[in-house]
Structure 1
Amino acid sequence: MATYEYRCRQDGSFDVTLPIGTAGPSTRCPRCGVPAGRVFAAPRLGRMPAALHAAIDRAERTAEQPDVVRHVPGDRPARRSSNPAHARLPRW
């Protein structure tokens, strides 16, 4: 289904949802019943939540050149285990 925009001379713009490719050059206005002409405009690609748009942009930016992590996130220092057996484990 696609959304098509039509403009009535009396009532202004309105949208009609129809199967793709079935929209005619005019349709009746739902308010007054007068024939309204179809408006040809750019696709409505901007109807995405801002947070989702930002996440997609961030993912695209880092796809080729990921950000370098210089420290572990968070303010807490690393915890040391109190188990003496852990002291014998190899350190990398």
Structure 2
Amino acid sequence: MPYYEFCCRSCGSFDRSHPMATVPDVAPCPGCALPARRRMTGGALLHTGSTATRLLDATARTAHEPAVVTAPPARTTTRISRNPLHHKLPRA
């Protein structure tokens, strides 16, 4: 379901999800319960479920739900190149 932006005169803007067929023009504000009018905004540019959306959601979620690390990540083996030109590259 798409999100619609509503604007309360005392609390400001908030988003609500509604089916497209039943979008109200006025919704109660979650802060003060006064009626808030729907604002006309641009459409969403990202598809929900896309890789970019999942990355943005995960990044935003880390602000209030940081990941807890119990152990360092497992070491992965690096592949050794057999190309003789790669032997001239500097080693880190």
Q: TM-score, normalised by structure 1?
A: 0.50
The structure with more radius of gyration: 1
TM-score, normalised to structure 2, is: 0.50
